[in-house]
Amino acid sequence: MRFFSSLFPGLRVAVVLWLAAGDAAFGQVRQDILLTTNWKFSKGDVVNAAAPDFSDAKWQTVSVPHDWAIYGPFDGNNDLQEVKIEQNNEKQATLKAGRTGGLPFIGTGWYRRALTVPGFKPGKRAVLLFDGAMSNAHVFVNGREVGSWPYGYNSFSFDITDFLKPTGPNLLAVRLQNQPEASRWYPGAGLYRNVHLIVTNDVHVPVWGTYLTTPDITAEAAKVTLKTQVEAPAGTRAPLRLQTEIRDAAGKVLTTTTTTLAAAPGTFEQQLVVAKPRLWSPETPVLYTAVSRLYAGDELKDEYRTRFGIRSFRFEADKGFFLNGQPRKFRGVCNHHDLGPLGTAVNAAALRRQLTLLKELGADAIRTTHNMPAPELVSLADELGFMLIVESFDEWKKPKVKNGYSQYFDQWAEKDLVNMVHRDRNHPSVILWSIGNEVPDQWAPGGVSIAQRLQDIVHREDPTRPVTAGMDQFDAAVGNGFAALLDVPGFNYKPSRYPEARAKLPQGMMLGSETASTVSSRGVYKFPVVPGKDKKYADNQSSSYDLEVCNWSQTPDEEFVQQDALPYVLGEFVWTGFDYLGEPTPYDEAWPSHSSYFGILDLAGLPKDRFYLYKSRWNPAPTLHLLPHWTWPGREGQTTPVYCYTNYPEAELFVNGKSQGRQRKTTTGSPQARYRLMWNEVKYAPGSLKVVAYNAAGKVVATEEVHTAGPPHHVRLVADRTKLTADGQDLAFVTARVEDAQGNLCPEATNQLQFKVAGAGSFRAAANGNPASLEPFQEPRMKAFQGMLVVLVQATDKAGTAQLTVSSAGLKSASVSIQTTSAK
Our finding on whether 624 is near ligand GAL (CB under 6 A) is: no
For residues 225 and 270, is the Cβ–Cβ distance under 8 A?
yes
Q: How many CA atoms lie within 13 A of 417 on its CB side?
A: 23
Shortest separation between residue 192's beta carbon and ligand GAL, angstroms:
20
Q: Which is nearer to ligand GAL, 201 or 406 (CB)?
A: 406
Torsion over CA: 21, 22, 25, 27 (sign): positive
Q: Which is nearer to ligand GAL, 87 or 821 (CB)?
A: 87
Shortest separation between residue 472's beta carbon and ligand GAL, angstroms:
5
Tell how many helices (H) and how many strands (E) occur in the chain. 12, 49
Our finding on whether 160 is near ligand GAL (CB under 6 A) is: no
Q: Which is nearer to ligand GAL, 303 or 438 (CB)?
A: 438
Shortest separation between residue 184's beta carbon and ligand GAL, angstroms:
6
Shortest separation between residue 443's beta carbon and ligand GAL, angstroms:
15
Question: Per the residue annotation, which of 303, 376, 514, 739 is the catalytic one?
Answer: 514
Pairing of strands 144-149, 221-230: unpaired
Q: Which is nearer to ligand GAL, 85 or 811 (CB)?
A: 85
Of 498, 575, 612, 648, the residue at the interface with ligand GAL (CB under 6 A) is 575
Our finding on whether 579 is near ligand GAL (CB under 6 A) is: no
Q: Which is nearer to ligand GAL, 87 or 670 (CB)?
A: 87
Cβ burial 132-146 (10 Å sphere, 16+ → b, else e)? bbbbbbbbbbbeeeb
Shortest separation between residue 339's beta carbon and ligand GAL, angstroms:
18
Our finding on whether 472 is near ligand GAL (CB under 6 A) is: yes
Shortest separation between residue 721's beta carbon and ligand GAL, angstroms:
32
Position closest to ligand GAL via CB: 517
Burial of 620 (0-12, 13-18, 19+ CB in 10 A): exposed
- In 291-405, alpha helices (H): 348-361, 375-384
CA dist list (Å): 811 to 23, 754, 788:
50, 11, 14
Shortest separation between residue 527's beta carbon and ligand GAL, angstroms:
25
Q: Which is nearer to ligand GAL, 382 or 472 (CB)?
A: 472
Our finding on whether 335 is near ligand GAL (CB under 6 A) is: no
Scanning residues 774 to 793, which ones bind ligand GAL (CB under 6 A)? none
Q: Which is nearer to ligand GAL, 88 or 762 (CB)?
A: 88
Instruction: State yes or no: is 181 an active-site residue.
Output: no
Amino acid found at 674: R
Instruction: State yes or no: is 514 an active-site residue.
Output: yes
Return d(Cα 124, Cα 128) in angstroms, integer: 14
Phi, psi of 810 (to 5 degrees): 85, -5
Fill in the DSSP letter of residue 350: H
Count the neighbouring beta carbons within 10 Å of the beta carbon of residue 624.
20
Q: Which is nearer to ligand GAL, 437 or 708 (CB)?
A: 437
Which x/- pattern over 81-110 shows residues binding ligand GAL (rule: CB under 6 A)? ------x-----------------------
Question: Per the residue annotation, which of 231, 303, 391, 438 is the catalytic one?
Answer: 438
| CA terminus-to-terminus distance, the chain | 49
For residues 17 and 251, is the Cβ–Cβ distance under 8 A?
no
Count the neighbouring beta carbons within 10 Å of the beta carbon of residue 512.
27
Return d(Cα 518, Cα 542) in angstroms, integer: 10
Which x/- pattern over 580-619 shows residues binding ligand GAL (rule: CB under 6 A)? ---x-x----------------------------------
Q: Which is nearer to ligand GAL, 120 or 575 (CB)?
A: 575
Q: Which is nearer to ligand GAL, 190 or 584 (CB)?
A: 584
Our finding on whether 379 is near ligand GAL (CB under 6 A) is: no
Shortest separation between residue 520's beta carbon and ligand GAL, angstroms:
13
Of 32, 181, 416, 514, the residue at the interface with ligand GAL (CB under 6 A) is 514
3-class state of residue 351 by DSSP: helix
Torsion over CA: 432, 497, 554, 401 (sign): positive
Our finding on whether 392 is near ligand GAL (CB under 6 A) is: no
Shortest separation between residue 681's beta carbon and ligand GAL, angstroms:
32
Our finding on whether 492 is near ligand GAL (CB under 6 A) is: yes
Return d(Cα 436, Cα 398) in angstroms, integer: 12
Scanning residues 516 to 555, which ones bind ligand GAL (CB under 6 A)? 517, 550, 553
Count the neighbouring beta carbons within 10 Å of the beta carbon of residue 348.
17
Fill in the DSSP letter of residue 670: -
Shortest separation between residue 663's beta carbon and ligand GAL, angstroms:
31
Return d(Cα 374, Cα 22) in angstroms, integer: 23
Fill in the DSSP letter of residue 336: -
Our finding on whether 515 is near ligand GAL (CB under 6 A) is: no
Cα torsion for 424, 428, 431, 436, to the nearest 10°?
A: -20
Q: How many residues bind ligand GAL (CB under 6 A)?
A: 12
Cα torsion for 92, 94, 100, 106, to the nearest 10°?
A: 110
Our finding on whether 438 is near ligand GAL (CB under 6 A) is: yes
Residues engaged in binding ligand GAL (CB under 6 A)? 87, 437-438, 472, 492, 514, 517, 550, 553, 575, 583, 585
Catalytic positions:
438, 514
